[in-house]
Amino acid sequence: MRILVTGCKGQLGNELRRLLETGEAEIGPIPAELRDSEATYIDVDELDITDPDAVDAFFGAHTFDAVINCAAMTNVDGCEKVEDLAFKVNALGPENLARACATQGAKFVQVSTDYVFPGNEPGERVEEDPTGPISAYGRTKLAGEHLVLEANPRSFVVRTAWLYGYVGRNFVKTMLRLARELGGMTVVDDQIGNPTSANDLAYELLKLILTDEYGIYHCTNEGITSWAQFTKAIVEGAGYDPGIVTPCTSDEYAAAHPDAARRPLFSALRNAHLERTIGNEMRPWQEALATYLNNLPELEG
């Protein structure tokens, strides 16, 4: 299988490369059919996905069976200030790729987010639940979902959440740095979601591209928590006293950080479509975090 990974220098792109190069995910070996796959990895320095002519030229010169788009503008607060640019990267870029894939009959994976939901009611969201983003990031990612599904019927839109990988910046690493440098942190305790290992997500994406079960998926580690409780697990797992985490409300956080984007209170996802199709092998988030903290010193990039 000829696979293209875009946004390869990001968190998820790096984990996809790790799995395809080693044949192993933390939750098991990748499908045997992918062991001899021919993978190409690119990032913005080689192809800016927002440039339709460049995308067409690239796909004119290369042919793929599946494209996994990990390229995105993921800075949720940053997207508020430059929504037009975020729309280009998170919506028009994926559309360019999906359209190019359609001309080759290639499958396309667009990774999306729990922030497409408004998050105003408790419980876990399934794929069919009504969307209604409350941030620029969520709006641009939702537009991307619609555009790729229209551009290529062979599209998988996979929503994930609270993602952390070994390479790149993420919440887990930030909390570890705050523990080390400041000895404590204040974290919101009323936003509920699913922390998710990029290594586990990469594994499910590779299983998905072997199928024809197109459509929208949720894919997060199992179990729900708040950012503050997640932080306690992070610092405790790294040997610090969880008492260094001070919980606060979203309103208190917003008062202290007036430029921050609004985030949904309840955006936990249920992997319902995965359960019905390839099976949901995602681990409990606590297990995935323990593996991550254990491996981080060796694999951090």
Ligand X SMILES: NC(=O)c1ccc[n+]([C@@H]2O[C@H](COP(=O)([O-])OP(=O)(O)OC[C@H]3O[C@@H](n4cnc5c(N)ncnc54)[C@H](OP(=O)(O)O)[C@@H]3O)[C@@H](O)[C@H]2O)c1
Residue the block writes with tokens 């408790």: 122
Residue 9 lies near ligand X (rule: CB under 6 A):
yes
Closest to ligand X by CB, 111 or 233: 111
Q: Is 211 exposed, middle or buried (0-12, 13-18, 19+ CB in 10 A)?
A: exposed
Among 66, 74, 203, 269, binds ligand X (CB under 6 A): 74
Among 27, 31, 37, 44, binds ligand X (CB under 6 A): 44
Helix (H, G, I), strand (E, B) or coil at 222: strand
Among 1, 3, 12, 109, binds ligand X (CB under 6 A): 12
Q: Is 28 exposed, middle or buried (0-12, 13-18, 19+ CB in 10 A)?
A: exposed
Closest to ligand X by CB, 6 or 225: 6
At a CB cut-off of 8 Å and minimum separation 6, what does 154 contact? 101, 102, 105, 106, 107, 108, 212, 214
The CA distance from 246 to 185, in Å, is 6
Closest to ligand X by CB, 50 or 135: 50
Residue 4 lies near ligand X (rule: CB under 6 A):
no
For residues 234 and 184, is the Cβ–Cβ distance under 8 A? no
Residue 274 lies near ligand X (rule: CB under 6 A):
no
How many residues sit close enough to ligand X to count as binding (CB under 6 A)?
Answer: 26
Backbone torsions φ then ψ of 30, nearest 5 degrees:
-70, 160
Shortest Cβ 218–ligand X spacing (Å)? 11
Residue 101 lies near ligand X (rule: CB under 6 A):
no
The CA distance from 67 to 71, in Å, is 11
The CA distance from 297 to 295, in Å, is 6
Q: Which of residues 155-214 bind ligand X (CB under 6 A)?
A: 160-163, 168
At a CB cut-off of 8 Å and minimum separation 6, what does 251 contact? none
Residue 262 lies near ligand X (rule: CB under 6 A):
no
The CA distance from 211 to 234, in Å, is 35
For residues 295 and 223, is the Cβ–Cβ distance under 8 A? no
Q: Which stretch binds ligand X (CB under 6 A): 67-75, 205-213, 233-241, 273-281?
A: 67-75
Shortest Cβ 101–ligand X spacing (Å)? 15
Q: How far is CA 192 from CA 117, 150, 161, 236, in A?
A: 12, 31, 11, 19
Q: Which of residues 227-246 bind ligand X (CB under 6 A)?
A: none
Closest to ligand X by CB, 48 or 77: 48
Shortest Cβ 77–ligand X spacing (Å)? 12
Among 4, 20, 55, 71, binds ligand X (CB under 6 A): 71
Residue 271 lies near ligand X (rule: CB under 6 A):
no
Q: Which 8-state DSSP code applies to residue 262?
A: P
Closest to ligand X by CB, 43 or 65: 43
Catalytic residue among 137, 164, 166, 253: 137
Q: Which stretch binds ligand X (CB under 6 A): 22-30, 43-51, 99-107, 279-287?
A: 43-51
Shortest Cβ 247–ligand X spacing (Å)? 20
- 217 annotated active-site: no
Residues lying near ligand X in the complex (CB under 6 A): 6-7, 9-12, 43-44, 48-50, 70-74, 89, 93, 111, 113, 141, 160-163, 168
